[in-house]
């Protein structure tokens, strides 16, 4: 599970973002996808190493790597700094 947020700018606040998160396995195959809902996402994944890709609705993307373990939760947040 995790969330995406954008922080900074003139008001130095954090806000939500729009997009979708894709989970890719070690072979690069997309094994799960979820659109952000209130800037949050959640997957049930088999144990293993995954690359999570956040694709923004207006283009661009960010990547995080996460290791899923049996019977444990893993958290991976995406943050975007705005000047």
User: What is the per-residue pLDDT across 38-59, written as a single tens digit (0 to 9) for each?
Assistant: 878 888 899 999 999 989 887 8
Q: What span, in angstroms and rounded, lies between the C-alpha atoms of 61 and 5?
A: 13
HSE at residue 70, side-chain half, CA atoms within 13 A, is: 0
Confidence of residue 32 (pLDDT cuts 50, 70, 90): very high
Per residue in 4-27, is it b (16+ CB within 10 Å) or e — as a string?
bebeeeeeeeeeebebbbbbbeee
Confidence of residue 6 (pLDDT cuts 50, 70, 90): low
Q: What span, in angstroms and rounded, lies between the C-alpha atoms of 50 and 80?
A: 21
Confidence of residue 75 (pLDDT cuts 50, 70, 90): confident
């Amino acid at each position: 599970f995790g969330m995406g947020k954008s922080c900074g700018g003139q008001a130095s606040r954090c806000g939500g973002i729009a997009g979708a998160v894709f989970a890719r396995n070690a072979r690069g195959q997309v094994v799960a996808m979820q659109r952000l809902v209130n800037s949050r996402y959640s997957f049930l994944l088999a144990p293993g190493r995954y690359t999570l890709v956040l694709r923004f609705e207006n283009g661009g993307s960010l990547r995080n790597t996460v290791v899923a373990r049996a019977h444990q939760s893993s958290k991976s947040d995406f943050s975007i700094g705005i000047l």
